[in-house]
Structures are given as structure tokens and as C-alpha cells.
Structure 1
């Protein structure tokens, strides 16, 4: 039995608990959550038992499919007989005899601190993306995990989304779209626009806390590109902006509690893959009026056709359902690997991947090393803007280029 301790009880916890509940309903019974840690004990208490304890904070999003739109999830819904301990210091939880493994769902700047302490106790970790507040923090996490001989995963759920799994197949050797040649993705004004505080968490707009859109959503986007394209990103050329330097909370239809922002809320990036494929992405938490989204989500062009959302168009043919083609033609082994136990919930799939890796003494599909590469790509965006040139992902990953990160590393004592 794998005893899980969860550090961080913010609003995202509801989506994680939903994932664990789905695993239990699918017959996965090799885990139980035995401890929660939050700065305020009442935040942890609110997730333990339905009908008991303080109320949970309400979801901050109403966008379908957004994990921050999930709420009303309780441990008692799927493990009513399990006693759950509450802690207000993550070190006490990790050092306790109540847990074997750690889920870290804290803010970016705590990831390396929680991981270092857990690895020092010989405990496996699943850390929320992005992997760390800086590349130095991420590198240290990966090195410490390897030295401790533990399973280390990063919670990068986008590659586990059903449609992304289908797109991965479409551009694989057995898929109909051929090899990836070009990709374009863009989204302006969908989230927290034009000037709201993202997820009601002001730290997301502070540079020294690893805030900004490029570092918040960039790891998602680049992980998807790397996964679907089957190739590493080698270079990035980018510009960033702070379109809305002042942001607010919304209360009763009024904007209140303004904050000043010094981390980007908008970015534009061109990237190149080792395979020769290339593409562009842009995103913004700003945007007045209404939102703008390219295609039905990201648009991918291969040597045989085009894919966006569930639509695939092969040369010389009409639009078809990618899901239908996948179900009819994808190799059985791939489908079993993509959707074990018939699961399609991305949170449940990511959690199962990590739990199975622990049992095997291996690393999960989304390992710490994968998270390191995703973070390097995202940091290449802001480092490129600061340097005023195209940068290689390698020089960001190995620490040669780190000007943007210097104040962050200074604050968290991460300078080498």
C-alpha cells in the first residue's frame, strides 16, 4: 500500500482528488492518502470529509475542462475509512511515519525545497508543474532524486489529455498525418482577461516568484510540442510583454485589491525542433473585448495532413474525426499504453503513471528529466526576450544563460 502525503491544499487539489477518486472507481486500490499539509489547517480540513469541517474555497474558473473549475471533492468520497493527519509544516509531514510518497502541489518557489527534503528522507515525489522556480532549482531536484534512487515525476497533465494522445498517434510512425513539419498555437483573452489576478494568486505576477504566463503555461505548451512532434526543441526566439501592469480581484462585480505586476502576461515565441520542424506560439492573459483562439486549439501540419482538435484532413481527402481514426487504426499496444484501464481523465492517468512507476522502481512517463526539458523551453522564452536574440534550449538547460533567473536564484539561495 502506497501512503500518499499531499503538500499544498489550494484550489487545484480538487482536480487531483477527482483523479484519485476515478482511479479508485477503476479498481486501483494500491494507494491511500494519509496526510495533508497546508499553511492553514482549515484549508486541509476542508478536503477530508463531506459534510464535515470548514467549507472549501469555491472554484475560480468556469471554463469547461479547466482543472481550476473542479470543486466539491473530498477524501471521504473514495477512502471513507482512512484516517488523515493534518500538518501545517511540510517538513513535519515528510518526516512523519504516516507517508511513503509525496505529492507537491505548492507554489513554484517551494517545489525545490519540498523535493530536497523529501529526497533526503528517501521518499518518492510527484511535483506540480513547472518543475521549479528556476533552472538551477530544477537541476538540483533531478540530481538529488537520482542520488536518492527514488521515483520522481512532474505533474504535466496536458500530454495525458485524450485529444493530445490522439494527436501523438497521428504524427507517429503508424499515424496518418506523417512527420510533423509545422505547428502554430495561440490564445489571447481566454483566461483572466483583461486584467484579473490569475487564479486569485498574486504571486503568479511576480518575477522573483517565477511568475508570468511564459513560465506558467509555457511548460504545458512545450511539453505538448515535444510529445506530439517526437523531437526536442532546440532553439527559441521570443518577445514578452506586460500588457496589464495592474491587476485586480473581482468581488461582486467590482475590481478590488489592485496589485502591480513585473512578470509577463503575454508572450510570442518561435521555436525549432531537432527534427527540422518549427512553429510559433503566443498567449496572453490580457485582451479586451473577446478572446481569440487559433483553430480548434493548436494546429499541426505533417507531411501528409493537418490536425487541429479532433479534426484531421489528409491530402486529397475531407475532414475526418481523429478520434474515430485512432480507435479504428491505432496499434492495440499504443491504445493500452495511452489509456490503461480504459481511463481518459488526464489527472487520473498522470497519477496512475507515477504510482505504477513507484511499484516498478522506475521513472514515470513524465519524469523529472522531462519536466526539466519543458522548463528549459519555457525559460528560453523569457531569456530570449531579455537577451534580445535567438537562444538555444541547451544554454538555458545547462545554466550558461540565466540572466532573467539571477534575481530569482538570489532570493532562494540557488546561485551556484
Structure 2
């Protein structure tokens, strides 16, 4: 498969270009940057044949089957619709859009055009999370009672740009991290949150956007979920706990882009280490994406997964803004 990058981003350089090229015959043929000089330098650095500063020209001239969108959040909607209209398959970074309605339009447009549309929710590709999901689905934990997600990190200096300063571009910890946790909880429990309450604050980095948030979600089954996301916690670590009537899973340092951390199964007779695969998260995601293009299964996270994670994140923000519980509107 031949890919074009819409956005000369750090995540494309650090993870996605390698994942595309790791697939049989995989190529990255073009990159788009609004800054032509930056785009040309990025293309040269990463061995990409062509760079463009106009999306329409790229879609008309670049030799590509699919596009990967990793621009700032407010650009995703229009760029995805243009790519879909050009007949390209689309992998889009989270959150898909600035509103649930826009995200739904993107996914429906792809369905009508007959192209594959996926959301780059990487965590559900991690060996640790696949092992956790298997434990939950197997019933070994009994009836699930609660989930606790802690995803409070120290935002790297290199990322302290629009994420902490520009609400109009989709900045803030909620669209950056809460949206991932929403997808991860949905992945493990196989159900969608119904209602949320939350509080948020700017605790050291946020300049016009929130940089820390805590929320509690109610699931249809009655499971209670609590989450904590932050850009300002250098010593907190990350993880997820799932507690049931017969046992619990306690996972540490697994909310990452690399295959790391530990998963422990806790029973009455003690604690048991759970082995898991240590494959590259993004390479697995791309294998499933390309299989979906061939008509074999679905992407690891499709467009509707992206819609639903966005809906949860936006409900968390509205609950924190208003101080009132919010019923989640999934737009469908």
C-alpha cells in the first residue's frame, strides 16, 4: 500500500512511517505541510519522494492509495472529506474532529464512498491490552464492578505547543488523552459509557485549555469507571485496573506507545504475572488496516470507534465545564 502523509508530524516520523514501510510493499510516497520549506526538509529527512503544500494538489498528483492525517485537530474534518472524495482510504489521528456531528459526517462519507476509515487509537493494539481484554472476556474476573484508569503524565517539552495553548486547534488534555482512555475502556468492557461527571483545571501548563481532569462514568451494565488524565504529573505513572467479583487485573505503565509495562492477575490466592506479546503497536494496527482494505476484517479501531471516543471526551469536558452530569450523545 502506498501512503501519503497529511501533516509532517512527530508521530508520523516516530511511529507511523516505519509502520507503513514494515508492511509488505509498503511505501510512503508524499507528505503535506502548509510550510513548503518544512515539508521539503521533512521529505528529505525521511526518504519521501514528494512534498506538497496544497491538499488538492497532493490528492490529484501523489501516487497513493491511502492517507494518514496527523494535523491539528480542527483540520481533520475537511482534510478527511477531501481525501474520501478523492477515493483514498483514511487513517485519522484522534480525536477525529472538533464535534461529534463532524466526526459522524466523516465516517458516513467513507462508508458511502466504499473506502476504509480508521482511527489511530494505538492502545488497543498493545499486547498488554489484548491480554487484559482476553481476561475480561473469559469471565475469569467474574462480574465486573469497576475500572480505574490513571493516565497522568508529564507532557514532553517538544509537545508543549498548541496542545497547551490553542483551544481552537483542539488543545487540552481531554481531546489528547481522555479520548484514548475512552477508547481503551470501551475496548475492554465492550460497552459504551452512558453518563459522566467531571472536574478539570489548569494545574501548571494549560494556557486557555485544561491540563488535568478527573471523571466518573456510568456504564450500561452498572460498571463504574474513574479516570485521571493530566499533562503535569512527572511521577504518577500510568495504568488501568479492572475489578470483578472473582478477581482483578492491575496493569502498570501500559498506557504507552511502546510495548511495555506489567499486567498482574489478582486472586484470593495471590498475584500472578500475566505474559503478553511485545509487538510494535502501530505495525499491528497497519496489518489490520491493510487487511480491511482487502476485505478481510476491520481495522483495530474503525471510524465509529473514533466517533464514540470523541463523544465521551466531549461529554467529560461539558460535565466539567457545567458542573452537571452529562448524558453522552453519540450522534447516531
TM-score, normalised to structure 2, is 0.88
Residue aligning to 1:107: 72
TM alignment of 1:178-327, pairs within 5 A: 178-188=142-152, 190-192=153-155, 199-244=159-204, 247=205, 261-287=207-233, 291-293=235-237, 297-309=239-251, 310-323=262-275
Q: Pick from 348, 353, 358 the counterpart of residue 283 of structure 2.
A: 348
Deviation at 1:202, TM superposition (A): 2.4
Deviation at 1:45, TM superposition (A): 3.8
Residue aligning to 1:252: none
Residue aligning to 1:13: 12
Q: Given that residues 204 and 210 in structure 1 are in contact (C-alpha distance below 8 angstroms), is that contact kept between their aligned partners in structure 2?
A: no
How many residue pairs get aligned? The number is 321
Secondary structure in structure 2 of the residue aligned to 1:35: strand
Deviation at 1:158, TM superposition (A): 0.9
Deviations 1:315-350 (A, max 9, x none): 322211111xx6xxxxxxxxxxxx7xxx81111111
Q: Given that residues 179 and 229 in structure 1 are in contact (C-alpha distance below 8 angstroms), is that contact kept between their aligned partners in structure 2?
A: no
RMSD over aligned CA atoms reads 2.3
Deviation at 1:303, TM superposition (A): 2.7
Residue aligning to 1:129: 94
Secondary structure in structure 1 of the residue aligned to 2:229: strand
Residue aligning to 2:257: none
Structure 1 residues 261 and 40: alpha-carbon distance in aligned structure 2, compared to 1, 3 A threshold: same
Q: Give the Cα–Cα distance (whole angstroms) in 2 for the partners of residues 18 and 286 of structure 1.
A: 30
Structure 1 residues 301 and 120: alpha-carbon distance in aligned structure 2, compared to 1, 3 A threshold: same
Deviations 1:226-250 (A, max 9, x none): 1111221111111111223xx5xxx
Q: Give the Cα–Cα distance (whole angstroms) in 2 for the partners of residues 162 and 41 of structure 1.
A: 39
Deviation at 1:171, TM superposition (A): 0.3
Q: Give the Cα–Cα distance (whole angstroms) in 1 for the partners of residues 236 and 50 of structure 2.
A: 45
Q: Give the Cα–Cα distance (whole angstroms) in 1 for the partners of residues 105 and 310 of structure 2.
A: 13
Residue aligning to 1:33: 28
Deviations 1:196-238 (A, max 9, x none): 6x70322543222221101110111011111111221111111
Residue aligning to 1:57: none
Deviation at 1:280, TM superposition (A): 0.7
Residue aligning to 1:3: 2
Secondary structure in structure 1 of the residue aligned to 2:154: coil
Q: Given that residues 222 and 377 in structure 1 are in contact (C-alpha distance below 8 angstroms), is that contact kept between their aligned partners in structure 2?
A: yes
Q: Given that residues 234 and 392 in structure 1 are in contact (C-alpha distance below 8 angstroms), is that contact kept between their aligned partners in structure 2?
A: yes
Answering whether residue 321 of structure 2 is matched by residue 357 of structure 1, we say no
Structure 1 residues 391 and 204: alpha-carbon distance in aligned structure 2, compared to 1, 3 A threshold: same
Structure 1 residues 135 and 302: alpha-carbon distance in aligned structure 2, compared to 1, 3 A threshold: same
Secondary structure in structure 2 of the residue aligned to 1:171: helix
Q: Give the Cα–Cα distance (whole angstroms) in 1 for the partners of residues 51 and 62 of structure 2.
A: 13
TM-score, normalised to structure 1, is 0.71
Instruction: Mark the structure with the bigger radius of gyration.
Output: 1
Deviation at 1:160, TM superposition (A): 0.6
Residue aligning to 1:95: 60
Q: Pick from 126, 141, 163 the counterpart of residue 177 of structure 1.
A: 141
Deviation above 4 Å: which 4+ runs of structure 1? none
Deviation at 1:111, TM superposition (A): 0.5
Q: Give the Cα–Cα distance (whole angstroms) in 1 for the partners of residues 18 and 300 of structure 2.
A: 21
